[in-house]
Amino acid sequence: MNDFTGKTVLVTGATGALGAELCAKFAAAGANTVVAGRTGFEELAAALDGPALGVRLDVTSESDWAEAITRAQDRFGPVDVLVNNAAHLRTGTTEGIPLDDFRQVLDVNLTGALLGIRAVAPSMRLAGGGSIVNVNSIAGLAAAPGLVAYSSSKWALRGLLRAAAVELAGDGIRVNAVHPGIIETPLAYGPDGEELVPVGDFPIPRRADVAEIADFVLFAASDRARFATGSEFVADGGFLLGPAA
């Protein structure tokens, strides 16, 4: 079992489907859970079974990050675990996507993770080390037609992962990633409710439950994965294998 007793864990995008599940699982595992989001964070923190703090966090804002880390430290002490879970998606092709949409997706998914790592690293040094997990996507491992902004951000996030893992290793800070397949969340559907990626031909022909993906994130964040850094854990239902025979 994952044990986060006494550890302070900050989850971004905490009020989304996966984020809320992550917060619940970290709390159940004994963590001091910092619920970070733009709305609904206080209500979610109050509903968790264990010590929790809700903080407002726009991941693209350096001042929001500074405030979130300060509040977490004031309440619980140094941050031990950061989960960069916040994500933004806009559909659009390479030729067709509005430039503002493209930039907004990169700002949240890539720059937001960079700012989070920058903000939390000094706190983790105070703790003697830490664990950072970036929630990536199969869109960062394979072509994603019609999702050029999202896919570009997730491929770039892999470069950030490797750079941060090498640079922070000497401080005992591990940086890993989880690549979920299609999860049963609103991000799996387009604005008209259409299925963005059909899953019927996957070797495991369904979308993942948020609890299944959260289990991978908790493992990557935990001391059970203490020999892994710069690693990418894939939970994609066999998507990368191609269609089932």
Amino acid (1-letter code) at residue 37? G
| pLDDT for the residue 185 | 84
* Structural domain for 93, as ranges: 8-238
Q: What interhelical angle do 148-168 and 99-106 show, nearest 10?
A: 30
The β-bridge relationship of strands 130-135 and 32-37 is: unpaired
Asked if residue 101 is part of any domain, the answer here is yes
Asked if residue 134 is part of any domain, the answer here is yes
Please tell me the total count of domains within the chain: 1
| pLDDT for the residue 226 | 97
Asked if residue 3 is part of any domain, the answer here is no
First CA to last CA distance, the chain: 35
Residues taking part in catalysis: 150
| pLDDT for the residue 140 | 97
Assess whether pLDDT exceeds 90 at residue 139: yes
Assess whether pLDDT exceeds 80 at residue 66: yes
CA distance linking residue 98 with residue 79, whole number of Å: 37
Asked if residue 26 is part of any domain, the answer here is yes
Assess whether pLDDT exceeds 80 at residue 1: no
CA distance linking residue 137 with residue 134, whole number of Å: 10
Mean pLDDT of 5-26: 98
Assess whether pLDDT exceeds 90 at residue 160: yes
Asked if residue 243 is part of any domain, the answer here is no
Summary mean pLDDT of the chain: 96
| pLDDT for the residue 189 | 83
Asked if residue 1 is part of any domain, the answer here is no
Reduced 3-state DSSP string for 73-99: HHHHCCCCEEEECCCCCCCECCCCCCH
pLDDT tens for 171-205 read 999 999 999 999 998 878 878 888 878 899 999 99
Asked if residue 45 is part of any domain, the answer here is yes
Confidence at 2, pLDDT banded by 50, 70, 90: confident
| pLDDT for the residue 126 | 96
pTM of the model: 0.95
Say which CATH number the domain at 211 has.
Answer: 3.40.50.720
Asked if residue 2 is part of any domain, the answer here is no
